[in-house]
Structure 1
Amino acid sequence: MLELPIWFEVGSLVVLTLILIADLLLVVKRPHVPSFKESTLWVVFYVVLALIFAGLMFLLGDAEHGGQFLAGWLTEYSLSIDNLFVFVIIMARFQVPRKLQQEVLMVGIILALVLRGIFILLGASLIENFSWIFYLFGAWLVWTAIGQIRGGHDDEQQKDSFLIRGLRRRVRLSDDFDGVKLRTTIDGQRFFTPMLIVFVAIGTTDLLFALDSIPAIFGITQSPFIVFTANVFALMGLRQLYFLLGGLLERLEYLKYGIAFILAFIGVKLVLHAMHVNELPFINGGQHIEWAPEISTWMSLGVILSAMLVATVASLVKARIDARRRGHTLMEEVPHFTED
């Protein structure tokens, strides 16, 4: 596989950083609830940007680079949508005012980038020095897939609520938000605002999803550059996607099964790869297991696309059937957006 030019890697990271900073400044300078049209345009912009980036990797690298980025980006995007679902739960549970949700989502995205960056560095180091780590990564993803089918979102809520209950017992909290401030003054006394609880819940969620997403993408590529850029592109536009999907996100009932299938598939792929490069002395005498098949990047890409397509279509069909039974159309039940 050809190496990507160093100027392309460095330039890409600089450009992506500038885009993220510009996005952050837009949120700070113009806090508002984006309209459906605005959210759609931003989501399309980031998706097109990712596809242009993939095209450049095809041109400057080779088909393998481009294929790995596309498969990695789609995997991380699907997991980010799952992450977004939990953000919806957090916003609703703590009754975050709609006009503050953009800032909260931006903080969540920045935390996700930082945590995933740390895990990428750790994962790359482990893979370089310990090939057997693929066994652990694969087993973890299969276990995560099983948990996802059993009800991953409920588990996230229980873990968050346990942590938050402990926090509530140890700090003084005000009843109301004060913008995005963590501290406020009431009658001369200092209190933490509910925003502290929201940020802790968001950060905990990001940590849990980073534990899943990084092993998943390392099952597609071992290039830290592709891993990181795929994560950045998956997270960019997530804020706008939150407002675009709105209530529709809650109706993607079978999404968790599609994501679980993807995680299980990549988990099996990692175990097969670990067998192929095996060095553990108690497995096959420390020799490589040559008969273990290697799943290609293009097969991975096909499986990921198919799983997400089937899960999304099945969810929308079921939502439409359920809406008709209640005497409504699907679009009537999805909240509409208004400019504040």
Structure 2
Amino acid sequence: MIGQRKDDHVRLAAEQQRAHSGRNQFDEVSFVHHALAGIDRSDVSLATTFAGIAWQVPLYVNAMTGGSTKTGIINRDLAIAAAETGVPLASGSMSAYFKDPSCADTFSVLRTRNPDGFVLANVNANASTEQARRAVDLLRADALQIHVNTVQETVMPEGDRSFAAWVPRIQKIADAVDVPVIVKEVGFGLSRETVLMLRELGVQVADLGGRGGTDFARIENGRRELADYAYLHGFGQSTAACLLDAQGVGIPVLASGGVRNPLDVARALALGASGVGVSGGFLRTLLDGGVSALIAQITTWLDQLAALQTMLGARTPAELRRCDLTIHGDLRSFCTDRGIDTRPLAQRSRAVEAPHEPTGTTR
């Protein structure tokens, strides 16, 4: 049954990606163009460091799947693409492995086909500390994701209905494992209040996992006989909204959910993300074009991200946080309601270097 559910998730996620309208709230984040801000491409690095983690690129393949023969093949191909391009790679939820150890190879292939890469194991917030350690050991993982997904579980016909234990279990896992712990949402967003709570629990990194990409409420509703939870389609906060909400939370944040192109990657980094994850878009490419198409797409994205940094004058991904941004539309309304002043974002470059104008000249 679990294997069938995992196959259903892949099928429905791919269908949703192909039918996606294309717009989300990243479109309401704009860089202020400064025509003389550009630098030399040779001075640009894509390396990012956060919470003791060092990645050669700020782009990663986020959690997708595992637990069935078909999803094992997908994980194999994802691992091949990650090994070829150097991007970090996260496992899908490993709950299936805990219930049926015979499917272990559908997850461990992420490491066997990507022996030198950065690999993240993935468990749900109901996992025990023993299960968390088993997940890390199976993948020889460099970090552990704990995913939280109350909305998905609520709509899932066979989903969990008890969430009160999640907070103490997250804290126990964070205390028990020897690798950095990242708590991630699956597409409904982490609020500022939630990220601050995670910091107090000892979690090192938060993956905001916002609305805008694959909608698991829609996926699980598609598995219901009556499809009677349609009113939860689109629930939660967008990734861009979560990034703005999380300013100054005191722990690094990653951005995933609705990342469609290298410009979205740059926008997310400029809004404070230390790294940017993609799932649905890469899955669609893999299913439609195979592993060679995915390698080509990731390679192109990394090349174009470096080009955008060159154009914007950011030598590193972190320097994108100095670039001026304007926020508009519904995203600006969200910020107003949450008490977030977006005006300083449009003037950040002035704090880096004041303009030098010859005496007596005017603009």
**Global fold match (TM > 0.5):** no
TM-score (norm 2): 0.22
Answer with 1 or 2: which has the greater Rg.
Answer: 1
TM-score (norm 1): 0.23
Between Structure 1 and Structure 2, the one with more helix by share is 1
Between Structure 1 and Structure 2, the one with more strand by share is 2
